[in-house]
Amino acid sequence: MAIQLSAEQFESIRSHGVREYPNECCGMLLGRTDGEAKEVSEVVALRNLRHDPARAEELLPLEDPGRESEKNRFLIDPLEQLRVERDARERGLDVLGYYHSHPDHPARPSNYDREHAWPWYSYVILSVEQGEASEMTSWVLSEDRARFDAELLKL
Ligand SMILES: [Zn+2]
């Protein structure tokens, strides 16, 4: 499977990552699957709930708060996620995946990313180096959840 983004969608993820730097940005990718490709029709920017540490801790406590923060963790509000999913379904769109940024880190999934991912969905990662958008990659979790495989990101 490959994931297809328009130049405009590609730019909107990059600018979201730059806007949120040095924190992680996150969002959802909606669209349709056409044979072997996931065709993105909408990029939905979401709020990183880690900006609200008290609420985030209630939902998903950090294992190592000294080392983890909104700078290297993102958390999507489950209510917001449900709302986006429901709204997408009503318009005949599917959730194809999620995106987030890695401020000053490579565009490769972390162990944390793997532990909080589901198979089939695309996980797009944008590296933001010193405030500038850098490499963007896409990953799919293997069925046994053991590893992420790189996915072709088409523009
Ligand atoms: Zn990550």
Distance 60 CA to ligand 1 centre (A): 16
Q: Are 84 and 22 in contact (CB under 8 A)?
A: no
Distance 85 CA to ligand 1 centre (A): 21
Q: Are 52 and 3 in contact (CB under 8 A)?
A: no
The DSSP symbol for 150 reads E
| Helix, strand, coil share (%) of the chain residues, nearest 5 | 25, 35, 35
Distance 109 CA to ligand 1 centre (A): 5
Q: CA–CA separation, 6 vs 85, rounded Å?
A: 21
> Tell me, what's the pLDDT at 63?
80
Mean per-residue pLDDT pooled into runs of 10, the chain (155 residues): 96 97 95 92 90 80 78 82 95 96 96 92 97 98 94 95
Distance 107 CA to ligand 1 centre (A): 8
CA-closest candidate to residue 149, choices 117, 127, 126: 117
Distance 116 CA to ligand 1 centre (A): 10
What pLDDT, in 10s, does the model give residues 11-40? 999 999 999 999 999 999 999 998 889 999
Q: Which residues contact 58 (CB under 8 A, 6 or more apart)?
A: none
Distance 58 CA to ligand 1 centre (A): 21
Q: CA–CA separation, 28 vs 122, rounded Å?
A: 10
Q: Where do we find the tokens 């940024």?
A: 101
> Tell me, what's the pLDDT at 114?
93
Distance 47 CA to ligand 1 centre (A): 15
Distance 88 CA to ligand 1 centre (A): 24
> Tell me, what's the pLDDT at 59?
79
The DSSP symbol for 153 reads E
Alpha-carbon separation of residue 127 from 4, 19, 83, 110, 120 (angstroms): 19, 13, 28, 12, 22
> What's the token pair of residue 49?
């709930």
Distance 24 CA to ligand 1 centre (A): 8
pTM summary value: 0.91
